[in-house]
Structure 1
Amino acid sequence: MDISTLHKIYLSCSSITTDSRKISEDSLFFALKGENFDANTFAKEALQKGAKYVVIDDSKYHINEQTILVDNTLKALQKLAQFHRNYLKLPVIALTGSNGKTTTKELIHAVLSQKFNVKATIGNLNNHIGVPLTLLSFNKSTEIGIVEMGANHQEEIAFLCEITQPDYGYITNFGRAHLEGFGGIEGVIKGKSEMYDYLLNNNKKVFINLDDHLQTKKSELISRFSFSSQDKSANVFINEIKADPYVSVKHENEIIQSNLIGIYNAPNINAAITIGKFFEVSNHLIKNAIENYFPTNNRSQLSRKGSNELILDAYNANPSSMKAALQNLIELPQTNKIAFLGDMFELGDESYNEHTAIVESMKNQPEIEFYFVGKEFYKTKTTHPNFHFFSTFEELKMELTEKKFENKYILIKGSRGMALERIVELL
């Protein structure tokens, strides 16, 4: 079946899904395959649950005219998404980076939604399946689309750009994340810069933080709309940045007070301001959007547990974001500080060195008590009056059941797989 015909079928359906547990009436179900599953086996079940059509790539599961046989369901999904993107012809903003992608995406969405009907990546559905599903969530009423792109190896961003065909792009930063897949920091830079390559080769525009000199250099040949807190020649100049502990910025004599913790969130806020200005959202509406945005999903959330104040930043971690979170903790004026730090994943051969570097850098911070959790941090175990090492979460749990924390200022930071938000219930 050709893509244009499949697209007409898609338009006749109420929604699209790749999860047989989330079938809705008259939906289109794509039967994808993974290492441990084959959704072709759910074709009949999907129809019974109310799917209007099912796309399969194994002929033995063909039932009737409601089952559409293709060579490869994943490739068909990706081609359908690209076709739909061209069918709609709406402006699309793509963003990637090592840290801050999702927060930046949500801030941009909040700002642009003050003026436009905007749809954006839901959660972190930012890979080779999530990006097509995001594009297929756009419809004729969508005025601007925002697509978050994640990657852990070379050529992934290039591939996602070919599907998405963005008109605008933004890279939050180059950080020490997914070093295993990218093959080191130079590989990260090369991989993320594939977005710049696409924008340059297709005469598109990039939003750029002039305070990030590497981003500035990598994008110098592309049409740019810039922001800066240092360079007054930028399209958008940010007069002042503070974090105590919530980040506030000053732009055109207007102070914008966010609900985000940590000075490292300032560029995310500034990017949203800049993109709002580019699309002619008024200063008043930009301020309103940012001041009414609250982080979710364990991302830099400030909360209380008894007499303790918590910065819960347990959604994910890599060496760059870990250092930024720790630097923010160090600079805050509060006393009685504690840091619970969990392993950072996907660092490959650099894992030991990166975990060691975090530990070593904290040896001269006597005012903070550190709890290092996970087998990677445990390998770096060293004697220090303020350091505690635990190879597993269960070991930490045993320790915490015997301790009572009062009037502490606590940072919780670790990779998603560590699920350190469980600490909150133990305090």
Structure 2
Amino acid sequence: MSINLKSLIPVLNAEWTGSETDIFINHISIDSRSLQNGSETLFIALSGVNNDAHLYIEELIAHGVQNFVVQYIPENCAGKANFLVVKNTLKALQELAGYYRNLFDFPIIGLTGSNGKTIVKEWLNFLLSPDFNIIRSPKSYNSQVGVPLSVLAINEKHNLGIFEAGISTVNEMVNLQKIIKPTTGVLTNIGSAHDEGFLNLVQKIDEKLILFKDCPVIIYQKNEIVDSCLSQFVAEYMMHPRTLFSWSFIDTSADVFILKKENKSDSTHIQYQYKGETFDLEIPFSDTASIENAISCLVVLLYLKYDSETIQNRFARLYPVQMRLEVKNGINNCSIIDDSYSSDFESLTIALDFLESQKKKNASKTIILSDIVQSGFSNEELYTKVGQLITDNKINRVIGIGTTISAFKSKFSNVITFQNTAEFIAEIENLNFENETILIKGARSFQFEEIVSLLEEKTHETVLEINLNSISYNLNYFKSKLANNVKLMVMVKAFGYGNGGLEIAKLLEHHKVDYLGVAFADEGISLKNGGIKLPIMVLNPESTSFPSIIQYNLEPEIYSVKGLKAFLKIAREKNLKDFPIHIKLDTGMHRLGFEENTLDELIQTLKGNSTVKVKSVLSHLATSDEARHFDFVHSQINLFERLSSKLISELNINPIRHILNTSGISNFPDAQYNMVRLGIGLYGVSNDPAEQKYLENVGTLKSIISQVRTIPAGDSVGYGRRFMAEKETKIATIPIGYADGISRLWGNLVGYVVIKNQKASIVGNVCMDMLMVDVSHIDCKEGDSVIIFGESPTVIEMAAALKTIPYEIMTSISQRVKRVFFR
């Protein structure tokens, strides 16, 4: 990309403020935290209900960024940079992408649907890449922001584009259509995803079809509803001749008719009829979704006139698509970021930003990188750009694997290269991986999953997967409920409610929350040792921990006169001045805090004291989630107002005030004061069923099947023979038990797990390290994946059955269960 900044003024209908316009832009950014921002970056300050990037412009200018698209020029920034002032920066980003798309004239495949978009995109990329230089959406960049960023990555060497478009409600696709302008349209599976954004299925299909408004051909699975929508669509947009190219399992009038489908254990054989001829095709998958996605790809290749032999040869090498970056614990105190299935320039920039957000404190940053494919650049230009990208991201060590990257090793500093993966593995013990955050990024042909396996810390096969995107989504959901200038504290106590403290704290720091909250000092110390710089409040500090709290610059909650005097004594001994403390008032919870009759003594103790500074005054609601007790909540809020106001007046201070927890944020918006505390809502759990549907699941506890056996009628399962088989029963054993945090009350047909999208009831008692389930109705085998909780069963459902609360379910998961973080 190389765009003259001056040329964008009419494109964006912008008002220009700055010193010079003869500047060329080669990088578009919306992330103020990216280390790739520089003098040739055009930063677009997106502003929404959850965040306002204008707040970071002054910091960006200090780091060398000089060109901005803004809705307003922040205070103290006028005259310090070049500004294109527009009415709406998101609209400006989309208009810029549409303008840039029009600079290129090559075929574009546009994909939309409810499911399968990313899989079909990645498979089409694989199937067509021998014949085209392809630009495609990185990962799942299919949103109102993701699509323009994807299109802005096009360069002059590309000759085919594959972009996906996702929408969640009406009036969104029209924006994406103007940016992608596909020449071939592919409609993937239409399912229930995002149903809540549409009146009905027909409206959803109609909205998605807008992507194909100017498209000469539309490829789709034939069915009555879609055919009806397409008929009306074609009638409405008659300005272009249009081909409808369909496939079907049941309708013989489809252009491609699937005559036969035979499922094998790990593959599927199909016969398809096209133009009066019958062909055979082996698809290396057996699940329904993969078969449908593969057929969508088949029909695209048939439309492009590929012969059956080429199709068969390429389909035989299709592979499962890994759509996420995973963080795993590695050997010798390393962290592993697993992106071992893709190696292209666009996704490299994403992975490097993720590496920066997840690096360990004082750990060096290493990248293991294969030859990069499909960049659109010459090798000389590509590896020059990659070398600069790695320099900008302050990578300490580069390990290149492949003949091409080895030939261009001079483009990198502190680099060692190997001709192939086997050569690297032979030397791995001599490379001394220790205290590093390692990004492993390679094209699939390099089989970097073997490297991940060797560098990953060895644990048992039960894992708790934490979706960092969902945490970000839930965070933004609650931020959208806050009034302007209300600060946000996020609770990461109890190991992040069982999800992992440090990794989540890093993400929250990345999102620039104002405070973190922990229960005890050792939790805060662990975060500080992990490199967290955010202020951390310790809510339940013990007096013995006060020296450590001071040493690590933690901020204690003070809830009693005795505790205050003990802290003041140590503070005076250490000659502290204005050390931040937080005063807890008891307004009815009766757990911790100063009551009204101790307030005068508190005030007298603090008056004239310069060793500490009251940073905030807080209280805690007892019943913010129960409507029948809302009168009590109001009494708590009123008492907090009275007591905190007295404290502020008597001490002549101006502290932050906060009383709302997660439920309080939603139910008592008038009591936000200066800050709120977000707890379990961050992790996707609400006490309000109506609100729950707006939150995303964060944690999925997974395991595998260790063994499958069939027992006859009359045989028992587990300790105490609590389950007796009434008929021949197939039993699967799962390596997870009460030592991992699964309640014994969840056994004996109360609870279930999910295997291949089907429920399998837990039979017999839950053991310490294992549980057994009835899989008589499920076609499964040893090694198959098992969902213990996540989307189904949810922790809310489990808590209801066990007569407890989701907090207990989540925090009970043992730390011997490996946490895997992913985006």
Shorter-chain TM-score tier = 0.5 to 0.7
1:218-268, CA deviations, whole angstroms, 9 ceiling, x for partnerless residues? 22445211223444553334444344443434355443332x451222110
Distance 1:400 1:12 in 2: 65
> What residue number does 1:410 align with?
785
Q: Secondary structure at the match of 2:102?
A: helix
Partner of 1:274: 299
Partner of 1:374: none
Give the 3 Å change call, closer, same or farther, for CA 13–271 of structure 1 in structure 2.
same
Distance in 1, matches of 2:61 and 2:767, equals 50
- Structure 1 unaligned residues grouped into runs of 5+: 318-342, 352-365, 372-381, 390-398
Task: Kindly provide the amino acid, as one letter, of the partner of residue 26 in structure 2.
Answer: S
Aligned with 2:164 (options 148, 169, 177): 148
- Looking at structure 1, the residues matched to 169 and 816 of structure 2 have their Cα atoms a distance apart, in angstroms, of 32
State which of 228, 233, 236 in structure 1 corresponds to 2:248. 228
Rounded Cα–Cα distance in structure 2 between residues aligned with 1:274 and 1:102: 17
Seen in structure 2, the aligned counterparts of structure 1 residues 10 and 16 have a Cα distance that, compared at 3 Å, is farther
CA gap 1:414/1:87 in 2 versus in 1, 3 angstroms: farther
Paired letter, 1:219? L
Q: Which amino acid aligns with 1:152?
A: S
1:208 partner letter: Y
| Corresponding position of 2:751 | 387
Query: In structure 1, what is the equivalent of residue 73 of structure 2?
Result: 59
**1:147 Cα deviation (Å)?**
1.9
Give the residue type in structure 2 aligned to 1:108.
L
Q: Determine the structure 1 residue equivalent to 2:94.
A: 78
Select the residue among 290, 298, 316 that pairs with 1:265: 290
Report what 2:226 is aligned to. 215
The alpha carbon displacement at 1:124 in A equals 1.4
- Structure 1 residue 213, shift from structure 2 partner: 3.5
Shift of 1:207: 0.3
User: Once the two structures are superposed, what CA deviation does each residue of 1:291-348 show, in whole Å capped at 9, x if it has no partner?
Assistant: 243321479x9xx9999899x9x9999xxxxxxxxxxxxxxxxxxxxxxxxx999x96
Give the distance between the partners of 1:239 and 1:403, measured in 2 at CA: 47
Name the SS for the 2:103 alignment partner: helix
The alpha-carbon deviation at position 31 of structure 1 amounts to 1.4
Aligned residue number for residue 109 of structure 1: 125
Q: CA deviation at 1:275?
A: 0.9
The secondary structure found in structure 1 opposite 2:144 is coil
Name the residue aligned to 2:105.
89
When normalised by structure 1's length, the TM-score is 0.67
1:271-307 alpha-carbon deviations (Å, 9 max, x no partner): 11111222234444444444243321479x9xx9999
1:191 aligns with 2:217: no
Give the distance between the partners of 1:100 and 1:316, measured in 2 at CA: 19
The amino acid that maps onto 1:262 is D
Q: Contact 2:747–2:766 (CA<8 Å) still a contact in 1?
A: no
Paired with 1:15 and 1:401, the residues of 2 have a C-alpha distance of: 56
What's the secondary structure of 2:98's corresponding residue? helix
1:223 is aligned with what amino acid? T
Q: Which residue identity is paired with 2:321?
A: P
Provide the C-alpha distance between the structure 2 equivalents of 1:58 and 1:46, rounded to a whole number of angstroms: 15
Higher RCO by CA contacts (8 Å cutoff, separation 6 or greater): 1
**CA deviation after TM superposition for structure 1 residue 367, in Å:** 5.4
Q: Deviation string for 1:370-421 (max 9, x for gaps)?
A: 99xxxxxxxxxx99827349xxxxxxxxx989332694633438559x899x
Equivalent position amino acid for 1:257 in 2: I
- Which deviates more, 136-145 or 46-55? 46-55
Deviation for aligned residue 1:130: 0.7
Q: Which residue of 2 aligns with 1:2?
A: 10
Cα deviations by residue, 1:133-178 (Å, 9 ceiling, x for unpaired): 1111122222222221112212222332233332222222322222
The residue identity in structure 1 corresponding to 2:785 is: I
- Does residue 36 (structure 1) correspond to residue 411 (structure 2)? The answer is no
Flag the structure with larger Rg.
2
Runs of 5+ in structure 2 lacking a partner? 1-8, 15-20, 235-241, 273-277, 326-340, 342-452, 471-683, 694-728, 735-745, 754-764, 773-781, 796-809
Q: 1:48 offset after TM fit, Å?
A: 4.4
**Matching residue of 2:600:** none
Identity among equivalent pairs (%): 25
Matched, 1:136 2:157: no
Decide whether aligned partners of structure 1 residues 16 and 386 sit closer, same or farther in structure 2, where only a CA change above 3 A counts. Answer: same
Q: Which residue identity does 1:409 align to in structure 2?
A: D
Partner residue of 2:29 out of 1, 14, 17: 17
Distance 1:23 1:386, change over 3 A: same
CA distance in 2, matches of 1:423, 1:111: 41
2:41 aligns to what? 27
Aligned-residue RMSD, C-alpha: 4.7
Q: Equivalent residue of 1:88, what SS?
A: coil
Residue 65 of structure 1 and its aligned partner are, at CA, apart by 5.0
Partners in 1 of 2:262 and 2:816 — Cα distance?
Answer: 29
CA contact (8 A) 1:95 1:170 kept: yes
Q: Are the counterparts in 1 of residues 462 and 818 from structure 2 also a CA contact under 8 Å?
A: no
| 1:108 partner SS | helix
Give the match for residue 255 of structure 1.
281
**1:160-205 alpha-carbon deviations (Å, 9 max, x no partner):** 223333222222232222233324xx1x431232232453x53632
d(CA) in 1 for partners of 2:254, 2:308: 17
Q: Is the 8 A contact 2:268 2:286 kept in 1?
A: no
Residue 121 (structure 1) aligned with residue 137 (structure 2):
yes
Mapped to 2, the partners of 1:128 and 1:10 lie a distance apart of 30
Structure 1's 400 and 93: CA in aligned 2 closer, same or farther, altered over 3 A?
farther
- The 1-side partners of 2:733 and 2:78 are apart by 58
State how far apart, in whole Å, the 2-side matches of 1:244 and 1:112 are: 27
Please name the residue that 2:333 is paired with. none
Give distance in 1, aligned partners of 2:85 and 2:205: 35
Question: Given the superposition, is the C-alpha separation of residues 67 and 113 from structure 1 closer, same or farther in structure 2, using an over 3 Å criterion?
Answer: same
Q: Secondary structure at the match of 1:193?
A: helix
SS at structure 2 position matched to 1:22? coil
> How many residue pairs align between the two structures?
357
